[in-house]
Amino acid sequence: ARGDERWKRARSVHFPSTQAGLRKLQRYLDRFSTDHDEFLGLCEPTGGHYGATVFQYLLDQGYDMNLVENATVKHMRETMFPGLPKTDDMDGRVMTRIGYLHEAVGEEFTLRPLALPDLESTHLLS
């Protein structure tokens, strides 16, 4: 792959949505920085139980978490990986690229900050 397209084959990392998995995720993130403000968290609204658990954990730790629309991910995936079947790893790469283009290049994507309406709603994510 050309140097500017290596991201398309970047290795994905996986963490179970358990306490041990979340600790492993935290250690992984801390290898890059312990300053939570240096991260941009993206998730799709269809993350299900796994996505809700990881989202809530990262939000509780003070990370900036944002929602990216499924249609945006689908459009970018079909543009960047035409003709290839959808996979979770591919969507992860696409969302990483969306974050990069948004932050480093200034490309406009609709990213909405995620937050629960109130503390009583946290039980909905467990």
Domain ranges, ordered by start, for the chain: 37-125
| Residue indicated by tokens 């996979």 | 87
Which carries the bigger pLDDT value, residue 112 or residue 106?
Answer: 106
Which carries the bigger pLDDT value, residue 26 or residue 123?
Answer: 26
The four Cα atoms 117, 120, 121, 122 give a dihedral, to 10 degrees, of 110
Give the pLDDT band of residue 70 (cuts 50, 70, 90): confident
Q: How far, in Å, CA of 77 to CA of 83, rounded? A: 10
| Residue indicated by tokens 């990986």 | 81
Mean pLDDT within 92-112:
80
Q: What is the pLDDT of residue 2?
A: 58
